[in-house]
Amino acid sequence: MKLHQLTNRIWYTEHDSATDRPTLGYIMGDRRSVMLDAGNSGAHAELFLEAVRRAGLPRPELVCISHSHWDHTFGMASLGLPAIASEKTNALLLQMACWGWSEREMAKRLETGEESAFCDTHIRLEYPDLSRIQVRGADIMFQNRLTLELGNCPLELWEGVSPHADDCTLMLADGVLFLGDAYCSVPLGMNGSMIKTCWKNISVCWRKQTSVFA
Ligand SMILES: [Zn+2]
């Protein structure tokens, strides 16, 4: 896994479509570093930590979660880092933590629409042994906004509206906005008011002279 440097304080990895491993972010403050999103499995999260080690960067002390979807969160359980998420995201994680992963349970969620065929396929590819899936809630929850001071590098988290998921946290540090999947128009679809809200979010960042990064 390659870690790309974006600014003096920000690094990221690329999306891997094979098993739907999303981009993960890393922010280094003078006092502490954080990881942005936890990856879709322990294997994904471990590759990220290994890339951080190889780059000679400090191990992250926290992980911040953009939204509850499996590919951004299933790595939380094995990371061993305190996780920060919105209350909305945490509630969705706690729901998923009660899910079973037998064939019958997975088939039922596909039938009811609780799970999509796309996620079902990629979960099976990432987890040849489905019994290894572990889902847990966050350790620190917030509503609306939260600022973390990482040491001459504030990280701002705020809840946004997204056409992609019912929960959405945008993350801003060192002039870079980490979107997670916030502006992806599937699976919820995009309606007029969502487009307006999305543009409002982006315009707030432009006013702060920020580059937008997904
Ligand atoms: Zn998503």
Measured distance CA(84)–CA(139) in Å, rounded: 6
- Dump pLDDT digits (tens) for 34-93: 999 999 999 999 999 999 999 999 999 999 999 999 999 999 999 999 999 999 999 999
Residue with tokens 């909305």: 88
Q: What share of the chain is helix, strand, coil (3-state, %, to 5)?
A: 35, 20, 45
Can you count the helices (H) and strands (E) in the chain?
A: 7, 12
Q: Which domains does the chain show, CATH number per domain?
A: 4-213 (3.60.15.10)
C-beta neighbour count of 166 within 10 angstroms: 13
Distance, CA of 158 to CA of 147 (rounded, Å): 9
Residue 140 has pLDDT above 80, yes or no: yes
Q: For the segment 80-120, what is each residue's pLDDT rounded down to a tens digit?
A: 999 999 999 999 999 999 999 999 999 999 999 999 999 99
Tell me, in angstroms, the distance from the centre of ligand 1 to residue 16's CA: 14
Q: Which amino acid is residue 94, in one-letter code?
A: L
181 CA → ligand 1 middle, Å: 5
| 157 Cα to the center of ligand 1, angstroms | 17
| Residues whose beta carbons lie less than 5 angstroms from ion ligand 1 | 69, 181
Task: Please state which of the ranges 18-32, 99-113, 186-200 shows the lowest mean pLDDT.
Answer: 186-200
Question: Which amino acid appears at position 213 of this protein?
Answer: F
- So what's the pLDDT on residue 6? 95
For residue 199, what are the CA distances in angstroms to 1, 67, 99, 111, 167? 33, 19, 35, 35, 17
Expressed in angstroms and rounded, the spacing between residue 80 Cα and the centre of ligand 1 is 22
Whole-model pTM: value is 0.90
Per-residue model confidence (pLDDT) at position 198: 66
**Around Cβ 188, how many Cβ atoms within 10 Å?**
13
